[in-house]
Chains A and B, each alone.
Chain A
């Protein structure tokens, strides 16, 4: 399981890490299963502690004056450089 999920999350793990995590995560997931004991029939999920709603922004353009490339080492002619697709 760990290898598959790690790959999805773009983490390349060493064999040592894979083995170690597999074991540690098994224990943790086992502990999480205690949630099965809780009766949540008809209970709504809480995405935030307090239900907030209707926060919207007016459609007005404004300019953020900054250098977007300042923190990047990979750039060219005002573009960011990115790795190839395949």
Chain B
């Protein structure tokens, strides 16, 4: 069976794709020769429909490749297709979308996690050389990686270019990658990292050889375990498995100590306010005029725009637009938008302070294993948000992180979250590989 046929089979069984390529086109050799790369649907691929999981971008054909996609192509990769996601990244279980809701390959009654659910699924089951481009705003790489038992890398904010990324929240979005092993993910990370003249927020630091870091010894590596990331709110089974992983690091010579990130409990609110405020402006452009969903052109512009947007956006998108708009309205702006930005400074200070004493942090990626779809359906929106408690702080601070499979609880994968300082991808890859190997 050809790769495409296998991809279709994966799609048929697990509904991981919003679009499978019609043909695989690769040019030249390079570090990704012979590899196919799947791309999360909010990252633009020229000539492939890019919907970001939303009906409002139905049929949208980008006129350009995202920079990260172009980099993959230059290294000889073929683009396999666009993977399913929560609409615009709004979700933790990949259920918020009118398109495919992917299924967790370990247990198809359970969610694969979100918002990069499709990417994690394909990574988990592909029986051909495959790497996934994914994206995280508040934990959308770590969560599905953890739930599906694969490796998910979220680089430092600005390490990868956001040119071609359909925005959720511009100061929080990061394009990252998934692979079955740490080495695999590190390879893709090396390829997609680096400066880009089209993105003003990109970092100009040297891109290291991340693959080389995997396999380096962790002797003397200082590992901090933040006390706020264990205990209440985190499932005991998950906690135990992750502790096991931390112990194994210690057995390999790492120095483990407890640390504290006191502003952790405020990071959820701070994150959501900032993310929604930015998102509500990013989504304003979808009004049925230039791309995506169109309706017959009738009525005043207020009427037409409202009609398109009401049909095109799902529930969660509407809620976030409303909340985000509210958070920046005159009279509320100081209490919400500005306050959240100041709390963010506090959260960042937490990390900066802690990294004076340790090289990486280790904690569970998610507080639970993948929940069942019927359980998810019972949850209120606020409960969805609270699932992000372990990922939002590092995402808010823009530090790099990797979720590496660490064991199982209740028969489902558990991910260990290694978080490093800004541009500390090398250290975290080293630690993650050590967990993987042990």
Contact = CB atoms under 8 A, between A and B. Distances in A.
- Determine direct contact between A and B, CB below 8 Å: yes
Interface of A: 1-2, 5-6, 8-13, 17, 21, 24-25, 27-29, 31-32, 34-38, 40, 43-50, 52, 55, 66-68, 70-74, 80-86
Contacts, number: 172
A34 B266 CA distance: 7
B294 A43 contact: no
Nearest to B351: A49
A16 B396 CA distance: 34
Given A43-B342, A47-B171, 10 more contacts: A12-B307, A24-B382, A25-B322, A28-B381, A35-B266, A48-B157, A48-B398, A49-B158, A50-B398, A52-B158
Interface of B: 59-61, 63, 156-158, 171, 200-201, 203, 263, 265-266, 269-270, 272-273, 280, 284, 287-292, 294, 297-307, 309-310, 313, 315, 318-319, 321-323, 325-326, 329, 335-336, 338-346, 348, 380-382, 385, 396-399, 422
Contacts of B287: 10
A5 B280 CA distance: 11
A83 B298 contact: yes
Contacts of B304: 83
Contacts of A37: 266
B61 A71 contact: yes
Given A35-B343, A47-B341, A71 B398 contact: no
A10 B380 CA distance: 25
Contacts of B59: 71
B346 A11 contact: no
Given A21-B322, A45-B341, A80 B346 contact: no
A27 B382 contact: yes
13 contacts: A11-B322, A24-B380, A32-B269, A34-B266, A40-B342, A43-B345, A45-B341, A46-B348, A47-B171, A49-B398, A52-B203, A71-B292, A81-B297
B294 A67 contact: no
A44 B294 CA distance: 42
Nearest to B302: A10
A72 B60 CA distance: 9
Nearest to B63: A66
Contacts of A66: 63
A41 to B, nearest CB: 9
Contacts of B306: 10-12
A43 B177 CA distance: 34
Which of A1, A10, A34, A80 has the most chain B CB atoms inside 10 A of its CB? A10
What 8 A-B pairs have minimum CB-CB distances, sorted nearest first?
Answer: A49-B398, A45-B341, A71-B291, A40-B342, A83-B304, A12-B306, A55-B200, A10-B305
A45 B338 CA distance: 7
A21 B320 CA distance: 10
B346 A38 contact: yes
Contacts of A73: 294
A12 B310 contact: yes
A81 to B, nearest CB: 6
Contact of B422 (A11, A38, A50): A50
Contacts of A36: 335, 339
A28 B382 CA distance: 6
